[in-house]
Structure 1
Amino acid sequence: MTASSNFIAFFGATGGCTNAALVHTLNAGIHVRALARTPSKLTDMLLAQGISQATIDSQLTIIKGDIASMPAIKSVLLSDKDHTLASQIMSGVGGTPQLRWSLKRPVTIDNPEICATTTKNIVQALHEIYTEHPSTATHKPSIVVISTTGVSDIKEDVPFGFRTMYHVALADPHKDKKVMEKIITENATGPDAVFHGAIAVRPSFLKGDHKIKGGKGWEKVKVGHEAKPAVGYTIHRADVGDWIFKQILRTGGEQWFGQKITLTN
């Protein structure tokens, strides 16, 4: 598999929202490097959605590994052929929800710090890349991460009927999302910034799977920001991926830099 000199780096590519965004990205002819613990799983998901093997071979480079492997992360971010850095980073890494015997915190995830750890490792990888290949620092990538509603310190963005679930039952995984958002914000400003820009996408409660035909389309997504959020109960994963591709990955997304975007149906 080969990668173009201009490509987007994907983390969490087998996740619903991220996989939907990846399908749209490949359909648009854009080159991608993606991290996957099981490359065959990612390939099978793409083939099932109509992405041809020829497209996979020509536009997608899959790096086998996980978010704990610094060499694998660096390989996703930097082309080994010509040391070109990704133009954008898409991260939708998340854990698997797990129930436990606790009235205060009944839901946790298998890796309760997975979002924060992934983001810290991406930041560290970029620092190392800039040191090893100084010319790459002149074209730093932007980053978009998939977060969640219910983590704002500015304004309530969860409908009343979901507030107990979000603020009590889901408190642990949401703490991880808040740390992730803090990391990208801190590393997108100032002289030591590793990102050209940073965007946090906060979808409401996710439903459906990764298949792009299952959504209503990005045009029907209600969009808000932290000071004036779009409040709703659910949104389809396919619509989140579609919106991220159309509004950020396809265009560069500079109009959204520094924002925390709420999405709902």
Structure 2
Amino acid sequence: MGQPTKTILFLGATGGCGLSVLRRSLAAGHTCIALCRTPSALLTKLALPSAPPNLTLHTGNAHDPDAVFAKLTIDDPHVCEMGMATLLGAIARRRAETGNTGWRPRVLVLSSTGLTSVGTRDTPLLMVPLYRGLLEVSRADKKAMEELLVREGRDERWTIVRPSLLTDGVEGGGVVRVGVEDPGEGRLERSEVGYTISREDVGKWGFEELIEEGEARWLSKAVGLTY
């Protein structure tokens, strides 16, 4: 017998990594719900003339509490932090209104390397100026998002994925190495340092390890992915 299907809400599915996970989830038969500002743009990226039966598209903003709440049945320097605050608030609201206090949806978060606060660096020394220069605004936003999730979502079932610098390379562009950190405990379990990884390989790893397998070993962990 195959794996049971899941219902998955995508916030930011038009991005490279999210798009890769969405495409694989649809092919596997999972029920997918995508909240995006321009649904037609998502269909174009999926190379589909219309939404398949297992994909529901909703027009909306991931910062709108009512829009995110309803779906639970880098212009903005705080886009990730605000999105996380909205999502956590919507989950709490759904529990309160349904009375189902034990409901714990699986939350998968795309972040970045360069954010570890324990142990050694997870980026090569040559990449440090890039992360602290051109990418500093985005890096600060993702750091705030992670801290909010760890602090306010300590009882949730979450995994943070931290890919190294993303490329548009094809799947199988290298051997994926996995670093593991427990941000809640401030403990580094395994360090891996690399320069880049393709969006396709991040999506493939996320789909296989976090959606299809759903292994408990990744719960409450920040997982660094690199070649």
TM-score normalised by length of structure 2: 0.88
Amino acid at match of 1:44: T
Q: Which runs of 4+ in 1 moved over 4 A?
A: none
Match of 1:206 in 2: 166
Would you say the 8 A contact 1:142–1:198 is kept in 2?
A: yes
Would you say the 8 A contact 1:229–1:261 is kept in 2?
A: no
Match of 1:62 in 2: 57
Q: Distance in 1 between matches of 2:5 and 2:225?
A: 32
Match of 1:231 in 2: 193
Q: Distance in 2 between matches of 1:6 and 1:165?
A: 38
Would you say the 8 A contact 2:95–2:103 is kept in 1?
A: no
Q: Distance in 2 between matches of 1:60 and 1:143?
A: 19
Match of 1:156 in 2: 121
Computed over aligned residues only, the root mean square deviation of the Cα atoms, in angstroms, reads: 2.0
How many residues get paired? 216
Higher alpha-carbon deviation: 162-171 or 111-120: 162-171
TM-score normalised by length of structure 1: 0.76
Amino acid at match of 2:110: I
Among 171, 195, 212, the residue aligned to 1:215: 171
Q: Distance in 1 between matches of 2:27 and 2:52?
A: 13
Percent of residue pairs identical: 32
| 1:179 maps to 2:134 | no
Match of 1:82 in 2: none
Q: Distance in 2 between matches of 1:74 and 1:220?
A: 38
Amino acid at match of 2:32: V
5+ residue gaps, structure 1: 79-94, 96-109
Query: The residue matched to 1:144 in structure 2 has which SS?
Result: strand
Match of 1:119 in 2: 84
| 1:143 maps to 2:107 | yes
| 1:75 maps to 2:70 | yes
Would you say the 8 A contact 1:25–1:245 is kept in 2?
A: yes
Task: Spell out, residue by residue over 1:16-59, the C-alpha distance to the aligned partner (whole angstroms, 9 max, x if none).
Answer: 0000010011111111111010111112222x2xx685xx3311
